[in-house]
Amino acid sequence: MANYFGTDGIRGKVGIEPITADFFLKLGWAVGSVLAKKGKASVIIGKDTRVSGYMFESALEAGFLSAGVDVGLLGPMPTPAVAYLTQTYNASAGVVISASHNHFEDNGVKFFSAEGFKLNGEDQSAIEEKLNEPMVSVESSKIGKARRHEQPLGRYIEFCKSTFDRSVNLEGLNIVIDCANGATYHIADNVFSELGANTIIINNQPDGVNINKNCGATNTKLLQEVVVETKADLGIAFDGDGDRLMMVDENGELLDGDELVFIVAKSWQSQGRLGNNIVVGTKMSNLGMRKGLKDLNIDFIEADVGDRFVMEQMQKHGSILGGEGSGHIICLDKTTSGDGIVSALQVLEALIKSKSSLEKLKHGMVKYPQVLINVRTTGKIDLDGHTQLQKVQNEVEKELGDNGRVLIRASGTEPLIRVMVEAKDANTAKKSAEILANVLN
């Protein structure tokens, strides 16, 4: 049986299996058939701004209808908005057509449960089993009905604003916002300006092919330049589907997900809001964040890479804050998924309450230089059984001591071994990573 689901739904190049219209048709039918086993079902479908989204929206819609499932169409909508609206509209599941931070040539699909969480492994297995069966439509009298929801934007905008402490506001704050020509293009300005901020919006003119192109959370160069040129207080960057966040301080310096999680954790702890004092990150979380949290007596839990795994560890340990350096930040007392807009509001709330600047807020965390080398392989390498690599890794780790760390892992999507080294200075990190990579070459 083919395994279509990766760490975050199904994703790939448009026109190449499984990212084809006929597969999405059958996928809609398979998911709908699984949902319909529990009784009358309904789903909502949102998408980002890729031109291929029109095609896949129609294919999924037809598949769901043929399984007897009602469909609500949302149009362009951030991934976290679909997670929220799935609950608001009392749907059985939420569907997002998106390839997140990838360029327009790619697309994919993500699913949310009725409670707004990513689908678990059990649900994914049931769907993949159904995909192996012949597609058979329900009888005509049981075919589902479709409708386009009228007010999803307004509902989500009001929800985002509700996560911000209204005892403070953003009046007088000058913010540059980069929408990545993606799904936040018609939402972000409303949220921040209605809370009082003066906003400059860039990359909010999607044309179907410019999503994530030299902009957004994966390329903040233009945002950094505009913040400095306009003398703004800070900049905010989202990715194409609005679940990632990067920020830029008043000097044009970039703050990644690790630094933003640290800022929120410190603020929440000072207000007695951090719950059980636990923050969840991943194996890639910077050593500087780990040490910064330790200095605050905040426990750090390490999850596998991927926001789904961060969520699993948060739920397991009762944490309300977790995230990744890539900008996925989950505020579990606010929402059920990584949400760029909601996360940005939490950082801004910390900034306003501290009467400080973004540059000063990150004090207490010194980010360690990180070097990542991808070693291409011709076949599968047994990292656990590679005695020479283990020997050299032990030597490097002994040399680094408490002032660095090593992470070597196989890519889940490509024939690569990822060698990552963090150290107090960049030269040491680079030299150590090269030594380890050479063992694999």
Residues 360 and 394 in one domain: no
Looking at the structure, tell me whether residues 18 and 139 fall in a common domain.
Answer: yes
User: For residue 220, is it within any domain?
Assistant: yes
Considering the domain boundaries, does residue 392 fall inside one?
A: yes
Q: What is the pLDDT of residue 415?
A: 79
Query: In this structure, are 340 and 394 located in the same domain?
Result: no
Q: What is the pLDDT of residue 276?
A: 93
Task: List the single range of 185-199, 223-237, 329-343, 407-421 with lowest mean pLDDT.
Answer: 407-421
Task: Tell me what the mean pLDDT of segment 380-403 comes to.
Answer: 92
249 and 281 housed in the same domain: no
Structure confidence at residue 1 as a pLDDT band (50, 70, 90): very low
Burial 251-278 (b: 16+ CB within 10 A, else e): ebeebbbbbbbbbbbbbbbeeeebeeeb
- The model carries a pTM of 0.94
Block residue for tokens 């509902």: 155
Q: Are both 217 and 137 inside the same structural domain?
A: no
In this structure, the answer to whether residues 217 and 294 fall within a common structural domain is no
For the segment 308-367, what is each residue's pLDDT rounded down to a tens digit? 899 999 999 999 999 999 999 999 999 999 999 999 999 999 999 999 999 999 998 999
CB-CB contact of 91 with 72 (8 Å)? yes
Selection from 144, 30, 29, 157 nearest residue 88 by Cα: 157
* Predicted local distance difference test score (pLDDT) of residue 411: 77
User: What band does 2 get if pLDDT is binned at 50, 70 and 90?
Assistant: low
pLDDT of residue 385: 86
- The answer to whether residue 1 sits within a structural domain is no
156 within domain boundaries: no
Among positive and negative, which fits the CA dihedral 153, 42, 306, 288?
Answer: positive
User: Residue 397, Cα to own-chain centre: how many angstroms?
Assistant: 31
Residue 21's pLDDT is: 98
User: Which is it for the CA torsion 157, 274, 336, 327, positive or negative?
Assistant: positive
The pLDDT value given to residue 120: 82
Residue 339 lies in a domain: yes
Does 58 reside within a domain? Answer: yes
Looking at the structure, do residues 145 and 25 belong to the same domain, yes or no? Answer: yes
Picking from 226, 253, 280, the residue at the C-terminal end of a domain is: 253
189 has a pLDDT exceeding 60: yes
> Is the pLDDT reported for residue 174 higher than 70?
yes
pLDDT-derived band at 412, boundaries 50, 70, 90: low
* Measured distance CA(24)–CA(135) in Å, rounded: 12
The predicted model gives 28-44 an average pLDDT of 96
Three-state SS across the chain? CCCCCECCEEEEECCCCCCCHHHHHHHHHHHHHHHHCCCCCEEEEEECCCCCHHHHHHHHHHHHHHCCCEEEEEEECCHHHHHHHHHHCCCCEEEEECCCCCCCCEEEEEEEECCCCECCHHHHHHHHHHHCCCCCCCCHHHCCCEEECCCHHHHHHHHHHHCCCCCCCCCCCEEEEECCCCCCCCCHHHHHHHCCCEEEEECCCCCCCCCCCCCHHHCCHHHHHHHHHCCCCEEEEECCCCCEEEEECCCCCEECHHHHHHHHHHHHHHCCCCCCCEEEEECCCCHHHHHHHHHCCCEEEEECCCHHHHHHHHHHHCCCEEECCCCEEEECCCCCCCCHHHHHHHHHHHHHHHCCCHHHHCCCCCCCCEEEEEEECCCCCCCCCCHHHHHHHHHHHHHHHHHEEEEEEECCCCCEEEEEEEECCHHHHHHHHHHHHHHHC
pLDDT of residue 3: 81
The verdict on 119 and 231 lying in the same domain is: no
CATH number of the domain residue 15 falls in = 3.40.120.10
Decide which of 331, 346, 367 is a domain's last residue: 367
Q: Domain residues for 138?
A: 10-150
- Predicted local distance difference test score (pLDDT) of residue 416: 87
Task: Check whether residue 101 and residue 202 sit in a common domain.
Answer: no
User: What mean pLDDT value characterizes the chain?
Assistant: 95
CA dist., res. 213 & res. 262, Å (int): 29
Domain end: 332, 367, 402, which one? 367
In the predicted structure, residue 292 carries a pLDDT above the cut 90: yes
Mean pLDDT of 125-145: 96
Q: Is the pLDDT of residue 187 over 50?
A: yes
Question: Which sequence positions are flagged as catalytic?
Answer: 100
Confidence at residue 384, expressed as pLDDT on a 0 to 100 scale: 87
User: Domain for residue 141, yes or no?
Assistant: yes
Same domain, 119 and 242: no
Q: Average pLDDT in the 261-286 region?
A: 96
Give domain status of residue 295, yes or no: yes
Q: Are residues 380 and 353 in the same domain?
A: no
- 172 has a pLDDT exceeding 60: yes
Q: What percent of the chain has pLDDT over 90?
A: 90
Confidence of residue 4 (pLDDT cuts 50, 70, 90): confident
Positive or negative CA dihedral for 101, 105, 110, 116?
A: positive
Structural domains in the chain (count):
4
Q: Residue 413: which pLDDT band, with cuts at 50, 70 and 90?
A: low
Asked if 272 and 243 sit in the same domain, the reply is no
Token pair for 40: 């009358």
